[in-house]
Amino acid sequence: MTTSTVTGTLRLGTRGSALARTQSQTVADAITAATGAPVELVPIVTEGDRSSAAIAQLGGTGVFVAALREALLAGEVDLAVHSYKDLPTAAAPGLTIAAVPGREDPRDALVARDGLTLGELPAGSRIGTGAPRRIAQLRALGLGLEIVPIRGNVDTRLARVAPGDLDAVVLARAGLSRLGRLGAVTETLDPLQVLPAPAQGALAVECRASDARTRELVGRLEAPSVRACVQAERTVLAALEAGCSAPVAAYAEVADGETGPELFLRASVTALDGGDAVRGSVSGAPGDAAALGRELAADLLDRGAAELMAVLP
């Protein structure tokens, strides 16, 4: 298939971390391949990059997003690439998600000393992770692990495993894949053990709603089934009125059903101390993704999800 050549360089705002630059460059290359339009990366420093505080203390994952969105609205850049799970669930006035491209494996991954799996780590092992969702679910497994809150980029976290001060770390498999670090993974965690974060592994390509040219060019990267899955997952998060500091997990898949494509959505809310959890699932047409998310969130709330989100470790 041939691509039409489009003149005019697109300016893509990106955070400076290796993962953000890798994700942005992947999208830039895909846009150029699909449209012929050249894309230039423009570094943007966010509050989340400046601070060493825990994400929850900074006010949520939106701290990585605000500066990029400000640059978009000011016309300093034409588009931005976000890890979709970093986006607040509320829409940003004046901006639109022009494309949700293909998704990496959304599962969590364990990187442990001596090639160990989660079940092989002895009681008392020190496991590093910064996500309340992961902390809660790891505690709920009842393996007697000591959970250590950590921050930092992927390589910083990996460096804390032997001969460092931690026995293992848990990270998103997608980030390790994009950075070429899958060789460090000692176990990809089954969602039955640790359910992923809503939209984990997915990217969101955002631009100004009024910028028809950029919307059209970026829109060629759209993966409709991925958008449906992410919409279902993030609707659960929004309906629970929860953010990144809440231990909420959700994962949707689209598969062939008896009458056509079917979306299967799972979600859970786990008390931060790991002492209790509610889980549920629904299925339906991909076109009903938002309704399925609201339905599942309502079920979780009926079974005590709000109370669990309020439980402190």
Is 193 within a domain? no
- Is residue 39 domain-shared with residue 118, that is, in the same domain? no
- Is residue 80 domain-shared with residue 209, that is, in the same domain? yes
State the chain's mean pLDDT as an integer: 90
- Is residue 215 domain-shared with residue 248, that is, in the same domain? no
* Residue at token pair 């910064």: 130
Is 194 within a domain? no
Q: What CATH number corresponds to the domain at position 289?
A: 3.30.160.40
Please list, in sequence order, all residues whose beta carbon lies within 8 angstroms of the beta carbon of residue 54, skipping any fewer than 6 positions away. Answer: 130, 149, 151
* Residue at token pair 């996500």: 131
Is 115 within a domain? yes
pLDDT at position 227 over 50: yes
Is 5 within a domain? no
- Is residue 154 domain-shared with residue 30, that is, in the same domain? no
- Is residue 95 domain-shared with residue 153, that is, in the same domain? no
- Is residue 214 domain-shared with residue 265, that is, in the same domain? no
In the chain, how many domains are there? 3
* Tens of pLDDT, residues 82-101: 999 989 988 899 999 999 99
pLDDT at position 54 is 46
Is 125 within a domain? yes
pLDDT band at residue 241, thresholds of 50, 70 and 90? confident
Active-site choice (78, 86, 167, 211): 86
Under 8 Å between Cβ of 275 and 266: no
pTM tops 0.75, yes or no: yes
* Tens of pLDDT, residues 170-196: 999 999 999 999 999 999 999 999 999
Under 8 Å between Cβ of 126 and 167: yes
- Is residue 90 domain-shared with residue 211, that is, in the same domain? yes
Please list, in sequence order, all residues whose beta carbon lies within 8 angstroms of the beta carbon of residue 142, skipping any fewer than 6 positions away. Answer: 274
Q: What CATH number corresponds to the domain at position 172?
A: 3.40.190.10
Is 302 within a domain? yes
| Residue 86 a catalytic site member | yes
- Is residue 142 domain-shared with residue 287, that is, in the same domain? no
- Is residue 112 domain-shared with residue 180, that is, in the same domain? yes
| Tokens of residue 157, six digits | 């976290």
- Is residue 97 domain-shared with residue 243, that is, in the same domain? no
Is 2 within a domain? no
- Is residue 36 domain-shared with residue 163, that is, in the same domain? no
- Is residue 149 domain-shared with residue 218, that is, in the same domain? no
Residue-number span of the structural domain to which 64 is assigned:
10-101+202-222
CA distance 131 to 152: 12
More confident residue, 2 or 78: 78
Is 63 within a domain? yes
More confident residue, 286 or 162: 286
